[in-house]
């Protein structure tokens, strides 16, 4: 995919975000994505307001934006703040270690719907986020996703890098998608590593970075005998997943992890995967000789 094609794809996608009302409330957890989304909104003249989760959101980076601090479990406080800022559209964004119910600071607004909160916790991450999202929607808000508010951050279809998948890598990609599709009903993870047709690891609670570190360790221990430059990290949303929440994400750290795991490349579903710092991703992959390719949805 050429640079011009990538820019055209982003421009076309960006036009889909114009129906979002301003300001947009970003329920901001960890990582760089809350700020990438906020910058994308601001660039199009839509005001972002960050509702930063204590213990997760970066206090230095969030200072660039209008923001409020909330704790996990403070649904009542959050709803009051959403209304005070006139935020009709809300987005969950960023990484968050799933808290235990005993760790949540409940307020009266949360106690009012504690039965629904408890039900949301009895499942995987997609079930949890969808459940909390429904609580907000029943209070008159609209939950939207990155595809709605920052489509320019989504992976386009095609290869972004100089390196491209060969026949063996294409077969590994196909196997990886089959595995992720089969695991989807269990709401486990969104990534798998396949090397020469063998599924060597799937994503669990430690996330994609942990998955790649595990593969690198297994290579170092001689448990994976395939030569360097073989195998693919495949990422895709779960089948039936609510695509407003918890889309798969790749960034420069993903590329670094794939290089350390001595893989051939990364394959991610176009339109349903977020690319953090896309230019840095391309440069890092080219430097490491890895491919990064967007798969048909």
15: exposed, middle or buried (Cβ count in 10 Å: 0-12, 13-18, 19+): exposed
d(CA 116, CA 183): 26
Q: Which of 11-20, 22-31, 108-117, 193-202 has the lowest mean pLDDT?
A: 11-20
DSSP 45: T
List the Cα angle 61/65/57 in 5-degree steps. Answer: 40
Q: What is the pLDDT of residues 139-180, one digit of tens each?
A: 899 999 998 999 999 999 999 999 999 999 999 999 999 999
| The last residue of a domain, from among 117, 151, 185 | 151
Q: Residue 163 is part of which domain span? A: 154-295
Torsion of CA 133, 245, 280, 153, to 10 degrees: -90
CATH number at residue 29: 3.40.50.20
Q: For the residues 270-282, what does the mean pLDDT come to?
A: 91
| Res. 8 pLDDT band, cuts 50 70 90 | very low
Token pair of 236 as six digits: 């895709």
Measured from the Cβ of residue 236, the count of other Cβ atoms closer than 10 Å reads 23
Q: Are residues 147 and 158 in the same domain?
A: no
- pLDDT at site 30: 87
Q: Do 72 and 178 have their domain in common?
A: no
**Segment holding 158, helix H or strand E:** strand 158-159
Residues 105 and 72 in one domain: yes
Same domain, 145 and 158: no
pLDDT of residue 122: 56
Q: How many domains does the chain have?
A: 2
CA distance 233 to 257: 10
* Cβ atoms of residues 277 and 149 within 8 Å: no
Q: What's the CATH code of the domain at 188?
A: 3.40.140.80
pTM: 0.79
């Amino acid at each position: 995919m050429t640079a011009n094609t990538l820019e055209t794809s982003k421009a076309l996608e960006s036009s889909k975000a114009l129906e979002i009302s301003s300001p947009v409330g970003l329920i901001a957890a960890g990582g760089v994505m809350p700020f990438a989304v906020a910058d994308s909104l601001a660039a199009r003249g839509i005001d972002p307001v960050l509702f930063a989760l204590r213990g997760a959101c970066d206090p230095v980076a969030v200072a660039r934006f209008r923001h409020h601090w909330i704790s996990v479990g403070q649904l009542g406080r959050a709803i009051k703040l959403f209304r005070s800022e006139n935020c009709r559209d809300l987005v969950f964004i960023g990484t968050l270690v799933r808290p235990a119910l005993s760790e949540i600071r409940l307020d009266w607004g949360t106690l009012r719907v504690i039965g629904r909160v408890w039900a949301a916790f009895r499942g995987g991450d997609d079930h949890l986020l969808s459940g909390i999202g429904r609580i907000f929607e029943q209070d008159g808000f609209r939950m939207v996703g990155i595809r709605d508010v920052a489509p320019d951050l989504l992976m386009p279809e095609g290869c972004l890098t100089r390196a491209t998948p060969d026949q063996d890598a294409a077969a590994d990609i196909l196997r990886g998608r089959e595995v992720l599709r089969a695991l989807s009903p269990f709401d486990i993870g969104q990534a798998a590593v396949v090397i020469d047709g063998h599924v060597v690891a799937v994503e669990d609670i430690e996330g994609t970075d942990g998955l790649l570190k595990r593969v690198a360790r297994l290579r170092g221990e001689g448990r994976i005998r395939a030569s360097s430059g073989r195998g693919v990290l495949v990422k895709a949303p779960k089948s039936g997943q609510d695509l407003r929440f918890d889309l798969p994400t790749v960034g420069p750290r993903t590329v670094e992890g794939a290089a350390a795991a001595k893989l051939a490349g990364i394959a991610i579903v176009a339109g349903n995967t977020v690319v953090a710092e896309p230019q840095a991703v391309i440069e890092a992959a080219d430097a490491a000789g890895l491919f990064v390719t967007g798969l048909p949805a």
